[in-house]
Structure 1
């Protein structure tokens, strides 16, 4: 046997002998010999300069700590030998049994899982990981252990590779660890990502956490002792654990948020009891000892969390200091930290495995649905549905199902049964009828009512959030004749444009005048083709409306009458400015005023007209300067030191009438550090659009230009122009 790092191997063998058979230990030894010989031959080194064998040994040590089976540990040791050009797939099959070879291929040969859509190389790689994991969950476990050691040695990589690995870990491995309930692994990933992606934030969080931990130690010691004594007095055998947050959680939730005054920041207390039957009595002891904060109790014994955690959680306060307590059994404490691992390694020792079995089943179901779609939505479906935050709803049969947040009753119907959902008529939630677009919340009880004559319409696409439901609806829509799709698309589009006032007359002719250039841009031969694309769901109604809005903006113009002020002689235009605001080729006395008609700002070409002791600034293109008398008294000037000065301007807008349009305009102005003064609407609409005048104060022309373009980019704004 090669002597390279033999001591590390013997450590693995010694630890593995606690639970593995002699045959499994022999398999691990052979895997080590094979890998060490290969690495020695091709002289592989890691970026740290250390022999490459260190990495597979570290992966194997992690897998042994997780008490994985011999085949998984052997595959963890062998997963990098594919780098050796002299080792083939057939050699691996000949040397090791099929199970080990299968796992190695799942980890290393991800290209065999071909996606049915064109995606970038990184996305394809990420999703092949999921496909391979679906074939055997142990592939995912090996990949997680592999990534864990790579992240722990990230400091040896060039900066760009550090960033790439951190981004990939955020996108793929943190959600994967969360989905499998592996909190310890997820926390380790998150802390390392924070360290390398935000070093300043990491160091700040590290320092702040150490301070909070030390400061809160007396409180937790005293409270934990009192709680343990109360449990003993109640005849409940327990241990009290101070549970610390990881640094990434502390950084995101405690440093960047505003927790309740005086709340414990570094962690919480966990009451660990022996049996499920003791959890609720233990909670009663907690609430008898401390005052419960209303609305802060979560029961996750019956319905586990999205990351398959089980506990009772309550927030209480002791002498005015709020803090969190969780109650769980020893088994829950282990599963909450290690997730699916106890089920894979020692299932016979678990009292309850149903929710862990269901999580594994969910992975296979998601992959099956994804593969069955055969459309570009496959990748989207997997990303959206596999690593989701979840809501839990109750079926008519009192079963619990999980859905992504914001899911509607129509999403729920398609999740249950596609054929039933196609005949959707209405839904009843918590005994009350709801609309088709009702967004579900956790613990809602849902009933679906069907109609044999009902069928999906293009409007249904507006009421679903999950890619799977959207894909099912689109498949049914494509089965319809073109004539039906065309009529449905036209009707749906007309309803939408009338609702927002996009077409003033509400007649098809005016709408079609907007559609023609859009359809031509999309290389469609006719309006009917445009309507059919909407009817088949190929063009979303929101996308169609956005394109028609843009076309309306391109064709909109203001008449000279529409350029006249709606708010004449506003006091903000009477402000006087210091003489240092400008520099002049002629001496002048007194303050400087700006012309209300043209409202010049720094950056504009300007002239100054003097009448008596009043000095009036004008833009060079000011219409009042057309009178010859003004030019006879003008001076050539330029902008001087207008420090911290703001100047008034007018904007004329044409907008679609929407409730929040005025608010969005005000927010755009203030977000650019300008000052909003007032807004006024014309009493008479023009072409079905609302005419607005906005007065604001700005620092210079560049600020005004930025505000104009941002206001014009708002979907309800057709024209935004300075007057």
Structure 2
């Protein structure tokens, strides 16, 4: 054994010997010798120029630093051996036992002949990690140690591999570390990825740190002096230190509009106490010396006073009291208050739970997170069956990506679900029976609908009705797969006749609400469905209803198909084409005669007709007398219906109108939707039109809204382009220039 690596191994064994028995140390030694000899790793070089054995030793050193058991450390050393074509997992099982072999298999890439047909090598690798984590969380820790060392040697890789590794780290491992509360590992990987993926921003953040440090150091020192004196006065046992911020944190902080401009960016203060009650005493001292920011101060949107996650950890398992106060000189200072145990768990998360000799006094929330994560992965594996690789991986990543919310049930228990969860999701979280019998919900003594998303720490009461039963539209009000699955169980259990009835009811109700069936008669709806039945490859309309309930056809998809048909057949009625805004100021001013070509000079004042709104590109004619002449489109209804009142006709053509704009009148029919009018105006303006107020909206006879807009445009082609852009919105049924 080369002396250098023997020394490295001995250092690992010495540190592991502080908490590990002799048999465990021998397992680590045996794993090292197997890795070195079986793969001849001393003969191989990494791209950094180091012998390949350096990597498994670095992984083992990290795992020992986390005080992992001998099986985990041995698996960390062996984690690449199974990729050697000469090594089989049965060898590892025979030499090191089932547990070590399973851990190694969980973090190893599949061999080519083991790959599923529809999976790439990377896809299969990610899937294997997810599945292995569901069985043994230690797989995630080995993978974290492996990734930490790989990220520390990125400098030796070509640029494309640096980018690939960083993106992969952001997509998988940073999210996993955050979900497991491993803040220390998460920040290290995030900083490295930031440095390689956004080098300019990384450099700017470093320069900002250098620039701000002298001034902010003085503020920190003054604040620390005041805090120490006051904390000492009450006889509190504590430690106070300044925690520096990383370039990534500073870069994001500087661009976050929700944060105060005066907030010190290079770090924050941390007060660490022995017991939880002492943390609240420290908070009292902090707020006695320094005033907390309020909603009415510079910090609009910042919670008044403090944020307390001591008893209910945040989504990344962080527990502390966080407060922002007005410090010396009026600067905003962020102060975190926590216990020694919380500082450990905030830094290492589940590592502190699994560490040998762990003596956490409050390990419950960590144990619950591990069980919760493994349970959800297990649930997702059943739901993901049959999906392609991309969808399956995205399904698992959502488990790591989504933040958690805490809501208190009426019995005082805390319910934990993703932030997107609705009150109906929480009802199913309480029990399947509660969810199935949902009637309404009360949040902080106020009744809310089933689609309402509760805020953090709000109090929730579910009102049930034993006669209630899950409906198709309930699926639109839940975000968790568990609740969706339970609703589908009840719907798919319905007899065919009942399922058809439920599907018919749901589709008719939604079609009426969307303005697609204003009569609310099933006959009218089925007339439209008969025209699109081929789109669903279904002969019987009842089968559409049945498949909606069975989950074979999405209700929203059916509505979109019907909406598309409705948009094809709906038209403006003649009475709707008439202007609703007579005497619009856009038509008051005289038209520029230079924009027209006449056979003979025109001495009259020239105006554009308000009814037909002629634009360059339209065929036109001019009618009038000695004092006033009006430009009409040749197809103008006003010209055809009242020719006797128009006066003498003067032939005319459009001249040079480049750069000039003219008023155009648009009629838009749309389905009621949130912010739809604002979207319409935005499209017109982004297309180069200038809105001329006022605009007029009224209810059409088909439950559609009818909107009239007068806007300045360049020509008829420009107006037609605006109409095309408007029709791209699914809520727009008709968009015409009239």
TM-score under structure 2 length normalisation: 0.85
Q: How big is each residue's C-alpha offset from its partner over 1:206-231, in whole Å with a ceiling of 9 and x where there is no partner?
A: 32233233331110111012211211
Q: How big is each residue's C-alpha offset from its partner over 1:70-103, in whole Å with a ceiling of 9 and x where there is no partner?
A: 2222212221123321111122223323332221
Q: Is 1:329 aligned with 2:332?
A: no
**SS state of the match for residue 442, structure 1?**
coil
Structure-to-structure mapping, 1:153-172, within 5 angstroms? 153-172=153-172
Structure-to-structure mapping, 1:191-230, within 5 angstroms? 191-230=191-230
- Residue 31 to residue 683, structure 1, CA distance change in 2 (3 Å): closer
More deviation in 75-84 or 48-57? 48-57
Shift of 1:105: 0.8
Shift of 1:151: 2.6
- Residue 52 to residue 605, structure 1, CA distance change in 2 (3 Å): farther
**SS state of the match for residue 416, structure 2?**
strand
**SS state of the match for residue 32, structure 2?**
helix
Structure-to-structure mapping, 1:147-546, within 5 angstroms? 147-294=147-294, 295-318=304-327, 319-371=329-381, 373=383, 379=392, 382-430=396-444, 434-546=448-560
Shift of 1:41: 6.7
Equivalent residue number for residue 143 of structure 1: 143
Shift of 1:392: 1.0
Shift of 1:467: 1.5
More deviation in 279-288 or 245-254? 245-254
Measured in 2, the distance between the counterparts of 1:708 and 1:85 equals 63
Q: Supply the RMSD in Å over aligned alpha carbons.
A: 4.1
Measured in 1, the distance between the counterparts of 2:71 and 2:132 equals 16
Measured in 2, the distance between the counterparts of 1:123 and 1:343 equals 30
Shift of 1:512: 1.9
Measured in 2, the distance between the counterparts of 1:471 and 1:33 equals 49
Shift of 1:679: 5.6
Measured in 1, the distance between the counterparts of 2:338 and 2:253 equals 23
Measured in 1, the distance between the counterparts of 2:477 and 2:509 equals 16
Contact 1:679 1:693 in 2 (8 A): no
- Residue 332 to residue 672, structure 1, CA distance change in 2 (3 Å): farther
**SS state of the match for residue 309, structure 1?**
coil
- Residue 633 to residue 495, structure 1, CA distance change in 2 (3 Å): closer
- Residue 650 to residue 181, structure 1, CA distance change in 2 (3 Å): same
Unmatched segments (≥5 aa) in structure 1:
none
- Residue 590 to residue 462, structure 1, CA distance change in 2 (3 Å): same
- Residue 498 to residue 231, structure 1, CA distance change in 2 (3 Å): same
**SS state of the match for residue 286, structure 2?**
helix
**SS state of the match for residue 651, structure 1?**
strand
More deviation in 189-198 or 484-493? 189-198
Measured in 2, the distance between the counterparts of 1:422 and 1:676 equals 50
Equivalent residue number for residue 692 of structure 1: 707
Measured in 2, the distance between the counterparts of 1:72 and 1:341 equals 12
Shift of 1:705: 6.0
Measured in 1, the distance between the counterparts of 2:258 and 2:63 equals 39
Contact 2:79 2:108 in 1 (8 A): yes
**SS state of the match for residue 358, structure 2?**
helix
Number of aligned residue pairs? 716
Q: How big is each residue's C-alpha offset from its partner over 1:656-690, in whole Å with a ceiling of 9 and x where there is no partner?
A: 24564322212333455643223644767354433
Unmatched segments (≥5 aa) in structure 2:
295-303
Contact 2:380 2:396 in 1 (8 A): yes
